[in-house]
Amino acid sequence: MNPVDDTVDLLSAMIRNACVNDGTPDSGGEQRNAGVLLDHLSGTRAEVEVVEPHPGRVSVVFRVPGHDREAPALTLLGHTDVVPADPRTWSQDPFSGAVRDGVVWGRGAIDMLNLTSAMAVVTATVARRSEPLAGDLVFAAVADEEAGSRFGAGWIARNRPELLPWDYALTESAGAHVGSGAVTFTVGEKGSFPRRLHVRGRSGHASMPWGARNAALIAAEAAVRVARHRPAARPDERWEAYVRAQDLPPAATAGLLDPATLDDHLHHLGEAARFGHALTHLTLTPTVVRAGGKLNVIPGTAVVDVDIRALPGQDESEADAELHAALGELKEFITVERLGARTASQSGASRLQDAVAGAVGRCFPDRRLLPSLTAGGTDARFVRERGGTAYGFGLYTSAWDVGRYRRLFHGDDEHVDVESLRLTTDALQDVVESFLGDTR
Ligand SMILES: [Zn+2]
């Protein structure tokens, strides 16, 4: 069978399994997708380890031993869970995995069951070779990436670190096209400093609102202030390379490179404007607002959760300073709780990046890799925390620009074309063979 046919079949099967992670421990059910992958790799040379930190939250680690103990090993880190999908806002069943006119439809088609499927196909191909490669190839199909990885890569990093070689890894989120000459290559991700605002009001009877300190109103105003706050733009060299690769008119390019005018020129990036904004700013996004419980009671307390993402070089104190500036005098009624803290992580250039550049260049000779950040979190951070090098990988047809690609992450009508699945599978096979086959 052609490798891309296997990738399509695995992707459809995993979409149909609907391993939906809503953040609760009993969701996900990744054991179903683990089963699909175990079947695909059964009867090969791959050694298998299964972990299940919570019932149903199964991760599987396949290791194909190389012949040279000294050669560097490579980890392919693919998650098997997906975020929820609301069928009312999709034009079709989000969990059909249907293949129509060369397109596979369903939740996970882009994030990231497509790449996890390609990883499985490449690993099986290597595990069936009569001649082993030099270094070990490890494919970790992990649970719970969509809710912080506490039952997946994060759990393995803390509890079973010996299962993975942490030196070099490839995971999700790259391979869209920028302008006519570049393909994104993810080398880092933003930091995350989530905060919960506890609002103190004074409760009372709703029939007498005069002079009341209604916590619901304070929470609403806090959320609006946080959302409207505009931290300064912080363009860096990677941003400059990204903008210059866009083939924009000179005035638009100049506007996007000047921190004073950057925001006013983001619209030149079309659908990718939101992504461009995220690449150049600390962002503060209120996501949860809770207040009140009874119609005739003025609420005395309220809660607002704020998702905060920081650029490389921005620490927790900078994130908190922006939050406090946004809240202004409302701070008097608010206590800020720290829900987590993770600074941005990134990896420098390496032999693995060279292998990716070679593979992408063989598919698209006129395009070069464009190292960039990703706005959200991925499992790459666990590799970087252990001192390893991790990148986001993928490869799509030139019909996939950054805007289209980013829109489908957690978006409606998520889909991927079979030709992009072929490109991803072939390029990954190329990377694995060139990186692991070389015994230097
Ligand atoms: Zn993902």
pLDDT digits (tens, 9 = 90+) for 173-215: 999 999 999 999 999 999 999 999 999 999 999 999 999 999 9
Mean pLDDT rounded to a whole number for the chain: 96
The gap from C-alpha 257 to its chain's centroid, in whole angstroms, comes to 26
Is 0.85 surpassed by the pTM of this model?
yes
Ligand 1 center from residue 82 Cα (angstroms): 7
Q: What is the CATH number of the domain that holds 333?
A: 3.30.70.360
User: What 3-state class would DSSP assign to 206?
Assistant: coil
Residue appearing with tokens 């992504």: 275
Q: What's residue 330's pLDDT?
A: 98
Ligand 1 center from residue 138 Cα (angstroms): 19
Ligand 1 center from residue 146 Cα (angstroms): 6
Question: Total domain count for the chain?
Answer: 2
Ligand 1 center from residue 79 Cα (angstroms): 7
∠ CA(73), CA(376), CA(136), 5° rounding?
A: 10
Pair 325, 199 in one domain: yes
When pLDDT is averaged across residues 298-309 and rounded to a whole number, the result is 98
pLDDT at 439 over 70: no
Pair 208, 322 in one domain: yes
Ligand 1 center from residue 22 Cα (angstroms): 14
Pair 207, 178 in one domain: no
- Domain final residue pick, 338, 369, 396: 338
Pair 318, 368 in one domain: no
Q: What's residue 322's pLDDT?
A: 98
Residue ranges making up the domain that contains 210: 190-338
Q: What does the pLDDT look like over 88-97, one tens digit per residue?
A: 999 999 999 9
- Domain final residue pick, 278, 307, 338: 338
Q: What's residue 2's pLDDT?
A: 82
The gap from C-alpha 384 to its chain's centroid, in whole angstroms, comes to 15
pLDDT at 436 over 60: yes
Q: What does the pLDDT look like over 243-257, one tens digit per residue?
A: 999 999 999 999 999
Pair 14, 92 in one domain: yes
Ligand 1 center from residue 127 Cα (angstroms): 25
pLDDT at 5 over 80: yes
Q: What does the pLDDT look like over 103-160, one tens digit per residue?
A: 999 999 999 999 999 999 999 999 999 899 999 999 999 999 999 999 999 999 999 9
Pair 179, 246 in one domain: no
Specify whether the backbone of 424 is left (phi greater than 0), alpha (psi in -120 to 50) or beta. Answer: alpha
Q: Which tokens is 323 given?
A: 């939050």
Ligand 1 center from residue 52 Cα (angstroms): 20
- Domain final residue pick, 338, 369, 386: 338
Pair 232, 270 in one domain: yes
Ligand 1 center from residue 295 Cα (angstroms): 40
pLDDT at 440 over 80: no
Pair 333, 365 in one domain: no
Pair 183, 195 in one domain: no
Pair 230, 149 in one domain: no
Q: What is the CATH number of the domain that holds 25?
A: 3.40.630.10
Ligand 1 center from residue 333 Cα (angstroms): 37
Residue appearing with tokens 């595990």: 127
Q: Are 204 and 299 in contact (CB under 8 A)?
A: no
CB atoms closer than 10 angstroms to residue 215: 25
Q: What's residue 352's pLDDT?
A: 98
Ligand 1 center from residue 391 Cα (angstroms): 13
Ligand 1 center from residue 172 Cα (angstroms): 6
When pLDDT is averaged across residues 261-285 and rounded to a whole number, the result is 97
Q: What's residue 438's pLDDT?
A: 59
Task: Tell me whether strands 168-171 and 389-392 are parallel, antiparallel or unpaired.
Answer: parallel
Residue 60 neighbours by CB under 8 Å, 6+ apart: 34, 37, 38, 48, 49, 50, 51, 140, 141
Q: Are 407 and 269 in contact (CB under 8 A)?
A: no
Residue appearing with tokens 């609301």: 86
Ligand 1 center from residue 198 Cα (angstroms): 31
Comparing 49-58, 77-86, 400-409, the range with the smallest average pLDDT is 400-409
Ligand 1 center from residue 128 Cα (angstroms): 28
Pair 294, 348 in one domain: no
Ligand 1 center from residue 362 Cα (angstroms): 26
CB atoms closer than 10 angstroms to residue 182: 24
Q: Which tokens is 413 given?
A: 């009508």
Ligand 1 center from residue 141 Cα (angstroms): 12
Pair 18, 167 in one domain: yes
Q: What's residue 1's pLDDT?
A: 67
